Amino acid sequence: MSQPETSATSTASSAETSTTPSPASATPAVILTGDRPTGPLHLGHYVGSLRSRVGYQHDYQQFIMLADSQALTDNMDDIDKVRRNVVEVALDYLAVGIDPAKSTILIQSQIPELAELTFYYLNMVTVARLERNPTVKAEIVLRGFERDIPAGFLTYPASQAADISAFKASIVPVGEDQIPMIEQTNEIVRRFNRIANRDILVECKALVPEIGRLPGIDGKAKMSKSLGNTINLGASADEITAAVKKVYTDPLHLRVQDPGHLEGNVAFIYLDAFDTDKAALEEMKAHYVRGGLGDSIVKKRLEAVLQEMLAPIRARREEFAKDKGQVMQMLKEGTARAREVAAKTADEVKAALGLNYF
């Protein structure tokens, strides 16, 4: 979605990572995943997490969090953006095939036990350790905070540790850049268990997707809502066409007969991610590299692949959007189920800290 005071790079605090979860057992492992509701989800989200979540829900106990409280740490000047996108992101979940009967979808802010656990965990980590977290450092630079860092943003690792440990998740799907957050979560878990003198909280493993971050259509390193270089899951056919025309290819491929390059070529990166006819795609790559294949042909194939993939997702999204009240009811029910789990963990934590007076 954070941990005694040790270096994030030390062996003791390193998070175990994997690209595939372990097979389901008689007691399904718990997965926690989620998104900040700051805008509609896009192809990067689909590759990075959504597609996998649809599969996980059949074999694991999966909690999917709409992290609205966390989103406010750098959106307090536009709180309506966060509020309205809670339902919009939920619509994307339903559209891709996440089943609320198999996955528990919850709203972070509506589970006060998460904030309570965060408060306790902040006493188990120093400001210096928070500032050393590589993920936090990178995000501070990205947002241009310099030293004007919102306190809630700086303490996000403790908040994420609360989110993960509240549901006793043992598997957390994240990108490679988020592994330091999992390491710090495990540090906090271990320190708390030492204080309690027994294992109450559960250490977690980072699950890194085989396909990493999807670049934006402009060739930037990351597809991002804030950079405006996305193709949204709910994009119309015309929007997909317009976006594909802007997709970055090989700037040195000036003539059709010139040999093309695949490295950094966003059109082929997308085809690798979404084209199911791998044999035909490999033939196209070979043709492009030796020359004689224009970028327009590559983009035509890419558009066909994306149109076919996104059309049913868009249709389902439009159908669910006809009754947003029902979508909100689904979120209310999922949040209620999740709160029961988090409240039980919070009670265990308070008892271990001697805060069970009555």
C-alpha distances in Å from residue 94, one per residue of 56, 112, 306: 15, 25, 19
pLDDT the model gives residue 100: 98
**Contact residues for 169 (Cβ-Cβ < 8 A; gap 6+):** 30, 31, 32, 63, 202, 204
The whole-angstrom separation of Cα 63 and Cα 338 is 8
Residue 47 DSSP label: I
**Largest interatomic CA distance in the chain:** 80
Provide DSSP, 227-290. TT---BTT--HHHHHHHHHT----TT--STTSPP--TT-HHHHHHHHH-S-HHHHHHHHHHHHH
C-alpha distances in Å from residue 260, one per residue of 73, 197, 297, 312, 317: 44, 61, 13, 33, 38
Q: Is residue 139 within a helix (H) or strand (E), and if so which, with residue range? A: helix 134-143
Residue 209 DSSP label: -
pLDDT the model gives residue 15: 56
pLDDT the model gives residue 191: 97
We find that the CATH architecture of domain 237-320 is Orthogonal Bundle (1.10)
- Whether the domain at 11-213+324-352 and the domain at 237-320 fall into the same CATH topology: no
pLDDT the model gives residue 194: 97
The whole-angstrom separation of Cα 7 and Cα 169 is 23
Evaluate whether the domain defined by 11-213+324-352 bears CATH number 1.10.510.10: no
pLDDT the model gives residue 16: 64
pLDDT the model gives residue 297: 97
Which backbone phi and psi does 205 adopt, to 5 degrees?
Answer: -115, 135
pLDDT values of the chain reduced to their tens digit, one per residue, 358 residues: 532 222 333 333 345 666 666 554 568 999 999 999 999 999 999 998 999 999 999 999 999 999 999 999 989 999 999 999 999 999 999 999 999 999 999 999 999 999 999 999 999 999 999 989 888 888 888 777 877 888 888 999 999 999 999 999 999 999 888 899 999 999 999 999 999 999 999 999 999 887 768 999 999 878 888 788 999 999 999 999 999 999 999 999 999 999 999 999 999 999 999 999 999 999 999 999 999 999 999 999 999 999 999 999 999 999 999 999 999 999 999 999 999 999 999 999 999 999 999 9
Q: Are 203 and 3 in contact (CB under 8 A)?
A: no
pLDDT the model gives residue 93: 98
In the structure encoding, which two tokens stand for residue 109, read together?
């802010």
Note the residue count of the chain. Answer: 358
Map out the domains of the chain as residue ranges.
11-213+324-352, 237-320
pLDDT the model gives residue 234: 96
Pure H helices in 61-109? 68-71, 79-96
